[in-house]
A and B are shown apart, each in its own frame.
With several copies, the nearest count.
Chain A
């Protein structure tokens, strides 16, 4: 679904990480780990097509891509429902209703509240609901577990398992103690270019 060969990204004329190679197939999870500042976020943004790799080949064959990063892409001035409705209209998807998704991620009580008033964990859940709205085949998750409580962490794992079961694929960057359980997991330990 997504394959990378010799991906290099330079900032200030220095590679951020060692050249990256992988081949991700349907139903597989690529778990990117590494210390703070080793370039996980940068790599995911390169894979997402936001950053342009300095050299190397990126080959994408997915029906849709969805991304949850450090900046969640939630409009503070819209309510949770409005945020999801907009994304649905914008992407032109039409699966489960927004209300159902909201209850799935446990935000029913604050669904009509403006996003600026959400707590950190509630915001994260809202971003997870948007992930489901997109109905994308490839998920790019940058530290999906941060700011979530125990129940929220389990929620991410459930959603992830369901997505992979249905033939999706996922690149997940994390440094936390928690790691998702999935048979088709490839560990990718990212090494900072500066360290090498």
Chain B
């Protein structure tokens, strides 16, 4: 369905669809999100500084792992985000495919590199952490493996999106792939989980088992919230730039640019 025709001749029933279609108008989206973005960035920076201060300076060293446990404050929030962003991207991909809404396509596609970046951070931080704790950078543990596969799927989506020239076509193809990946990810996750327990009893358990001290927990929670604001801010900033690029010859962009420059 086309955005313009939908607006003029179809009565709206569903508040959600209505919101989606309102979001679908580029100038509205541009102006609406413009108000939030600075706040998102600000909250992200404040929370990160606070969380890292508590985590890296205030929290006591772990009695087992010493100082190296502090990688936790990067590793765990990044790991959570890598999964959360995929879910969010898949939902947007579904909306984009069904209603053919360009802005949602853009949002889904700008999510992919952010998610991939978090996945790489998770893998890198985890590997660095693995060296002191496990004595090796890499083992084919279930969680590690499925995180690696997640990275491959992210890279596939990004690769496909960039390989196709026409932006709308590229976005639709990559959105479809994101959806197929969403169906498969849980299957991959569980199959990898078993695979590992089946072949060899993994001697390493990620969570040291016992409950975590509150002075170590708080910074983690703060960092977890901070990364969500980072995602929001980064996503919207990139999406707005992309929208301007695509509509560079449209009237509303000229107006926006005129306002900016003069």
Q: Which A residues form the contact surface with B (CB < 8 A)?
A: 11-14, 54-55, 114, 117
15 A-B pairs in the complex with CB atoms less than 8 angstroms apart: A11-B166, A12-B166, A12-B167, A13-B167, A13-B246, A13-B247, A13-B249, A13-B250, A14-B249, A54-B2, A55-B2, A55-B4, A55-B5, A114-B165, A117-B165
Interface of B, helix, strand, loop or mixed by DSSP: loop
- Complex Cα gap A151–B5 (Å): 39
Nearest CB on A from B236, distance (A): 21
Chain B interfacial residues counted at CB < 8 A:
10
Report how far A54 CA is from B250 CA in the complex, Å: 16
Q: Report the minimal beta-carbon distance from A194 to chain B, rounded to whole angstroms.
A: 11
CB distance from A54 to the nearest CB of B (A): 7
CB neighbours (8 Å) of B167 from chain A are: 12-13
CB neighbours of A117 from chain B (8 A)? 165
State A50–B172 Cα separation when bound (angstroms).
15
A13's closest neighbor in chain B, by CB?
B246
Nearest A residue (CB) for B100: A52
Once bound together, how far apart are the Cα atoms of A17 and B249, in whole Å? Answer: 16
Which B-chain residue is minimally distant from A10 (CB atoms)?
Answer: B168
Interface residues of B in 150-192 (CB under 8 A from A): 165-167
Contact partners of B2 in chain A: CB under 8 A: 54-55
Cα–Cα distance between A13 and B250 once the two chains are bound (Å):
9
Chain B contacts of A11 at CB under 8 A? 166
Which A-chain residue is minimally distant from B246 (CB atoms)?
A13
**A128 to B: closest C-beta gap in Å:** 24
Chain B residues whose C-beta falls within 8 Å of the C-beta of A14 in the assembled complex: 249
Chain B residues, Cβ within 8 Å of A114: 165
Residues of A within 8 A of B5 (CB): 55
Residues on A with C-beta less than 8 A from B166 are: 11-12
0/1 string, B206-237, CB within 8 A of A gives 1: 00000000000000000000000000000000
The 10 closest A-B pairs by CB, nearest first: A55-B2, A13-B246, A55-B4, A11-B166, A13-B247, A114-B165, A12-B166, A55-B5, A14-B249, A12-B167
Known: A13-B167, A14-B249. 9 other contacts (CB 8 A): A11-B166, A12-B166, A12-B167, A13-B246, A13-B247, A13-B250, A54-B2, A55-B2, A117-B165
